[in-house]
Chain A
Amino acid sequence: MSTVTVRRGETAGFDMSGWRRRLREYWLMLRLLMKSPPAAAGLIIVLGYLGIVIYDQFFVAHNDIMLPNFSDPFPKAPFWWPGGTAAGGWMGTTYPGIDLGDAVLKAIRIDLMYSTFVVLSGAAVGSLIGVFAGFRGGFFDEALMRVTDVTYSIPFLVFAIAVAFALNKRDFLTINFILLILWWPPYARLVRAQSLSVKELKFVEAARAAGASDARIMIRHVLPNTLAPVFVQISLDLGVVTQIFAALEFIGFNAGNLFLPELGNLINIGWTIGFRENPWTILVPGIALLIFTVGVNLLGDGLRDVLDPRARR
């Protein structure tokens, strides 16, 4: 082991640094993703929304409140709408004098940030619970999976209303708190099912033969093999959680901040002031929500193929 021979024309094994190797890997994934048009469309939509988030975060003042204009509170149609005027702007306004274009941009930031937070933490907790249950088996498996089943069976809308009533706090943070508690079970089930099959594979035995401990095998060998469906599920859930935010805000979980820029809140306002007279007040936030959901679904389908190393290069 002490002598090192280097042959002519061959470098000694560190010609590319770790980061460069990793970047190359991502580049290959991106190329594969761009080969399928729906996935590419999904990626572009999601990147567009991410761009909006970054823009809002760093370049927009007062990005956590919709700015009302009480001097001219009544909704105005966008300029391209039949009967619209230039005063309505690109997206129109809603009551009380809120510019919808501005509000939707801010709402996208809030929705995307918080749904990412909820989904990622749910995925992390669920994956760890799932891999532990699947890999250890026996009593832990049974206990954890029954807890998962019980948690999974709780209807979150009803639970959210109950918790909000009990805490006497009907605001956006309560929704986040409830979703944080309830969002891990699908991941736990997914990862457990995967790890049950993965742990029987030969390479786990090979890792054991090399002296790897159970924890190491669990984290380094079994978990990475279960993650591809988890990433897909994460991208799909981003849309679902955003919809749940919208649904709860729509039914009035905005007690903390009536001017919280949130798509459901905007739809609620539009609904209250009259959908028939001012359809754009619902259509604009509704279509923003629709495009995002479609985008993450398309991207999720694309990720399914890309995350398998066998499909790359």
Chain B
Amino acid sequence: MEPILVVRGLKTEFSTSHGILRAVDEVDLEIGKGEVLGLVGESGCGKTVTALSIMYLLQQPPGRIAGGEIWFRGLNLLAGSEDDIRVVPRTNAPPKFLPSDPLLKKHRARMNRVRGRGMSMIFQEPMSSLNPVLRVGYQVAEVLMFQRRQEICDRLLSRQDLTDQDLDLFRQAVATGDASERERLVADFCVRTGLRPDKVHALIDASGLPVEERVARVQRFAGRRRQGVGWWLRFLKRLDAMEETHYTREWERLSRLSLGQPAVDLFDPARNPRAKGLPPLATVSPRPDALRLYFRSAGGSGSDRRRGELLMPSEDLRARVEALLRESASGPFGAIFAIVKSVALEKDAIELRFRDPATDLFRTETELWSRRLLYRIVTSIPVVRSVLDRPIEEEARRHVVELFRRVRISEPTKVYDAYPHELSGGMQQRVMIAMALAGEPALMIADEPTTALDVTTQAQILGLLKDLRKRIDSAILYITHDLVRRENRRGRSRGGSLREPPSSVHAGPSPIDRVDGEPEARAGSPAPHDSGSRPRSVDAATGLPFPPPMRLRLRSVSGRGAQAPLPRSESKGCLPSLCGGGGEWRDLAGTGTKFCWPPEA
């Protein structure tokens, strides 16, 4: 399966008064699309630091990513960041971390493009992870409003026209005599059209009018709304299209950082004689499914650069390109190479059409940018923002209510308007999960999401994640110290087979619980671990899921030294809510450590 996140040799250190503490040492992991990977270890062994390093949320300094590679969708997120923080040796004191602010800023900006829609994170303590002065619904809606603004605009615009189905719903609502049935139909109608329920009710109750007249009025009403809101929405959408172009350009810049040479050279006539007449290819849309390729016109420079779309005239060509984009192991740039090799240079097969995104409302890109800047400044004033952004916020609100339903919050409309302190811990964690889902990320990192919760709520949240796994495409990196449970989740990764050790966090316990020195703990280990080498990737057939140091930690968790921890119930299998009750306990590779194993798929 195509890996979405590949971590190789990740090293993270902290500067302390006693010297440099290496919290994460040579972690390798790999997550495929839609997979769940469990990362297990005791407190303080570096699980959270690994996650924070992947998200680039680590506090730097005192933290420092000392080395390694993090490949996410074909982009090395750590490229160029070796010099972010230099280690300065000192004579009578431990070495000092000297940050380089411009570099850190650059790489933080790069990561900001990946977070949210690329990867998001659920934190340990839901109580402190929500802003106490904002309503929880707004906090989720805000993520939607800046991460998926165009989609929200589109959805809102598509609601503006009443379809025949909508009108049928309205007719049914008029015809029915049952009050609650009518209520339901009106609510449905309002969700589809974005009209206010009280207005619709008023129209339905206008019993003096014939039915068709009421239908005509609701149509007129929706039409007025379209005229009022539509222009403004299209303006906002245009601004956002601009931002997406900016996003694309940013991506282009980033890719140059990580891949060395961008794909642009392939279309450069100087390098590729077959590309004569074709303008140089600049970059691909960050969302491969959009199938929009941006080009730079041959003569243009600076802000005059025009961007175009690659249109696929024939259906099968389109399918080929889409397949290439989908299957590419190295992200959009790999896909570009592949397209260039197989498709793009069949010149006649491809129509290149240039469209200046600024032609509709604005003459130049500069004008568009100035409008966008003005809009940004104006909307930073709270009252003005709530007026200007109101149509979008109402739409985002509907979206958030749907999200809340999906994470099984029972009264989503009420929870939307609640402040965090009014919700229980489990509810807050659901909101956090909704927030992480809002950007529809490719990878979700759940960092001990159940630690602060009681057992019942834990089971609910786990059940929720399990359920969500079936319905969304996101891969999940699940971090926990609660061994038996989480192994189930790891074992349930797609395909049913164990592909990779769940984690290779090794040799990095904090000084307090340094366990690798205990000889008896190492006794059962088949291959003694030497700290210099990378952990071995173990074949699924031999069934050894952990590199040795990881197993050491497992034993110390049990609190019985070298003895194997006994599972709670050997005969009945594991918790039914986690793997359907059909699992069995297995002794892994003769280590004496037992894990709950899900039934074979």
CA distance A14 to B450 in the complex (A): 31
Residues of B within 8 A of A17 (CB): 196
Give B residues with C-beta under 8 Å from A. Answer: 55, 57, 101, 108, 112-117, 120-121, 123, 125, 128-134, 142-143, 146-147, 180, 183-184, 187-188, 190-192, 196-197, 380, 386, 390, 393-394, 397-402, 405, 411-413, 416-417, 419, 421, 432, 435-436, 438-439
User: Could you pull out 24 A-B pairs where Cβ atoms are within 8 angstroms?
Assistant: A6-B184, A6-B188, A8-B183, A11-B197, A12-B197, A13-B401, A13-B416, A14-B196, A18-B390, A202-B129, A203-B131, A206-B123, A208-B57, A209-B55, A210-B120, A210-B438, A211-B143, A212-B146, A213-B112, A214-B108, A219-B380, A221-B131, A225-B132, A309-B133
For B142, what are the chain A residues with a Cβ–Cβ distance below 8 Å? 212, 220
Do A201 and B120 touch (CB < 8 A)?
A: no
Residues of B within 8 A of A15 (CB): 197, 413
CB neighbours of A21 from chain B (8 A)? 417
Q: Which residues of A contact B190 (CB under 8 A)?
A: 11-12, 14
Q: How far is the CA of A16 from the CA of B439 in the complex (A)?
A: 26
Interface residues in A284-308 by Cβ distance below 8 A to B read: none
A149 touches B (CB below 8 Å):
no
A1-44 CB contacts (< 8 Å) to partner B: 1, 4-6, 8-18, 21
Residues of A within 8 A of B143 (CB): 210-212
Write out the residue numbers on chain B whose beta carbons fall within 8 Å of the beta carbon of A276. Answer: none
A12 with B401: CB separation less than 8 A? yes
> In the assembly, what is the distance between CA of A14 and CA of B198, in Å?
10
Q: Which residue of A lies closest to B127 (CB)?
A: A202
A-side residues, CB < 8 A to B, are 1, 4-6, 8-18, 21, 138, 201-203, 205-214, 216, 219-221, 224-225, 309-310
**Chain B positions within 8 Å of A310 at CB level:** 132, 419, 421
**Cα separation A206 to B115 with both chains bound (whole Å):** 11
Set of chain B residues within 8 Å of A213, measured between Cβ atoms:
112
Complex contact A9–B413 (CB within 8 A): no
B117 partner residues in chain A, CB cutoff 8 A: 211
State the main secondary structure of chain B at its contact with A.
helix
**A residues near B187, Cβ cutoff 8 Å:** 6, 10-12
Residues of A within 8 A of B405 (CB): 5
B435 adjacent to A210 (CB under 8 Å):
yes
Which of A16, A202, A221 is the most central at the interface, judged by chain B CB atoms within 10 Å of its CB?
A: A202
A231 → B minimal CB distance (Å): 12
With contacts defined as CB atoms under 8 Å apart, how many contacts are there between chain A and chain B in the complex? 133
Known: A4-B191, A10-B187, A12-B398. A209 touches B112 (CB 8 A): no
CA distance A216 to B380 in the complex (A): 9
A216 to B439, CA, bound (A): 16
| CB-based nearest A residue for B138 | A220
Decide: A202 and B128 in contact? CB cutoff 8 A.
Answer: yes
Partner of B129, one of A13, A18, A203: A203
Closest to A206 in B: B129
Residues of A within 8 A of B132 (CB): 203, 225, 309-310
Closest to A205 in B: B57
| Closest A residue, CB atoms, query B194 | A14
Contact of A18 among B393, B400, B412 (CB under 8 A): B393
A12 engages B191 (CB within 8 Å): yes
Given the known inter-chain contacts A6-B191, A210-B435, A211-B120, please indicate yes or no for A203 contacting B130, CB distance below 8 A.
yes
CB-contact partner of B439 in A5, A210, A224, under 8 A: A210
Residues on A with beta carbons closer than 8 Å to the beta carbon of B192? 4
Shortest C-beta distance, B97 to chain A (Å), equals: 15
Cα(A89)–Cα(B287), bound, Å:
78
Question: B101 contacts which chain A residues (CB < 8 A)?
Answer: 138
Contacts of B188 in A (CB 8 A): 4, 6, 12
Residues in B with CB closer than 8 Å to A11 are 187, 190, 197, 413
Say yes or no: A18 contacts B394, CB within 8 Å.
yes
Which chain A positions have C-beta within 8 A of B108?
214
- How far is B130's CA from A205's CA once the two chains are assembled, in angstroms? 10
B99 → A minimal CB distance (Å): 10
Residue of A with least CB distance to B180 = A8
User: Is A8 touching B401 in the complex (CB atoms < 8 A)?
Assistant: no
Residue of B132, B133, B390, B417 with most chain A CB atoms under a 10 A cut-off: B133
Given contacts A206-B435, A210-B115, A216 and B146 within 8 Å (CB-CB) = yes
- The answer to whether A211 and B123 touch (CB under 8 A), given A1-B402, A14-B398, is no
Let me know if A202 and B401 touch, CB within 8 A.
Answer: no
Q: How far is the CB of A220 from chain B (nearest CB, A)?
A: 7
Residue pair A13, B386 in contact (C-beta under 8 Å) = no
| B residues less than 8 Å from A212 (CB atoms) | 112, 116, 142-143, 146
Q: Please indicate the chain A residues that have their CB under 8 angstroms from the CB of B191 in the complex.
A: 4, 6, 12
A13–B435 contact, CB under 8 A?
no
Q: How far is the CA of A12 from the CA of B402 in the complex (A)?
A: 9
Q: How far is the CB of A309 from chain B (nearest CB, A)?
A: 5
Q: What A residues does B147 contact at CB under 8 A?
A: 210-211
Chain A residues, CB < 8 A from B436:
209-210
Q: How far is the CA of A4 from the CA of B193 in the complex (A)?
A: 12
**Cβ–Cβ < 8 Å partners of B197 in chain A:** 11-12, 14-15
B128 and A201 contact, CB distance less than 8 A:
yes
CB distance from A206 to the nearest CB of B (A): 4
A210 & B417 in contact (Cβ 8 Å cutoff) = no
Q: How far is the CB of B436 from chain A (nearest CB, A)?
A: 7
A9 touches B180 (CB 8 A): yes
Docked Cα-Cα span, A214 to B57, in Å, equals 13
Give, as a whole number of angstroms, the nearest-CB distance from A15 to chain B. Answer: 6
| Contact B386–A18 (Cβ < 8 Å) | yes
Interface centre among A13, A138, A208, A225 (most CB of B within 10 A): A13
B445 CB to nearest A CB, Å? 8
- Inter-chain CA distance A16–B117, complex, in Å, is 30
Measured CB to CB, the closest approach of chain B to A223, in angstroms, equals 10
| Shortest Cβ gap from B447 to chain A (Å) | 10
Most A CB within 10 A of own CB, among B120, B187, B197, B439: B187
Measured between beta carbons, the chain A residues less than 8 angstroms from B57 are: 205, 208-209
Q: For residue B141, give the distance in angstroms from its CB to the closest CB of chain A.
A: 10
Other A-B pairs beyond A9-B184, A202-B125, 12, CB < 8 Å: A1-B402, A15-B413, A18-B393, A202-B129, A203-B128, A208-B115, A209-B115, A210-B116, A211-B120, A212-B116, A224-B131, A224-B134
Give the distance to chain B from A27, nearest Cβ to Cβ, in Å: 14
Q: Please measure, in the bound complex, the distance between the C-alpha atom of A205 and the C-alpha atom of B117, giving whole angstroms.
A: 16
Q: How far is the CB of B488 from chain A (nearest CB, A)?
A: 26
Closest to B386 in A: A18
